[in-house]
Amino acid sequence: MTAIRDDDRGQVAVEFVGMVPLILLTLALLWQVVLVGYTYTLAGNAADEAARAAAVGDDCSEAALRHLDGAWKSGARPACSSDGSMVTAVVAIRVPVLFPGVGGLFTVEAKAAAVDEEGMRP
C-alpha cells in the first residue's frame, strides 16, 4: 500500500514570497543604521578639521566643508567660536533617508576644540 500525502507542493514558494518584504525591510533598516553611523563619523571628522584650521588662523567653515562629500556637504552647517585660549567648532549635518541627498531624518551635531595657536604667538 502506498501512503497518501497531503499535497503541499508550492509551499516553499508561498513562504518565500511572504518573507521577501520582511527581508527587504530588514536590509533597509540596517542600511539606514549604517548611514546614521557614517554621518556621525563625517560630522566628527569635519569638526576636528575645522577646529584645527581655526586654531592656526585658517577659515574654519571652509576646512569643515572640504572634508565632506556631495550630499553631506550641501546640508552641513559649520560654526566656530573662540574664547581666547580655545577655539570650538560645531558641525551639524542632516542624516539622509536611505540615499545621500534624500531628505533628512534628524540632525547630527559634532563638536571639537583645539588650543588657539593664534593667540599664543608673540
The confidence band for 120, taking pLDDT boundaries of 50, 70 and 90, is low
Cα separation, 46 vs 103, whole angstroms: 21
Per-residue model confidence (pLDDT) at position 2: 53
Q: Please tell me the predicted confidence (pLDDT) of residue 24.
A: 93
Q: Is 88 helix (H, G, I), strand (E, B) or coil?
A: strand
pTM: 0.78
Sorted by where each begins, the domain ranges of the chain are: 11-115
pLDDT tens digits, 2-38: 555 666 677 777 788 888 899 999 999 999 999 999 9
- Predicted confidence (pLDDT) per residue in 32-77, tens digit: 999 999 999 999 999 999 999 888 888 888 889 888 888 888 888 9
Query: How far is CA 16 from each of CA 11, 22, 24, 45, 105, rounded to the nearest angstrom?
Result: 9, 10, 12, 43, 31
Evaluated on CA atoms 13, 15, 19, 21, the torsion sign reads: positive
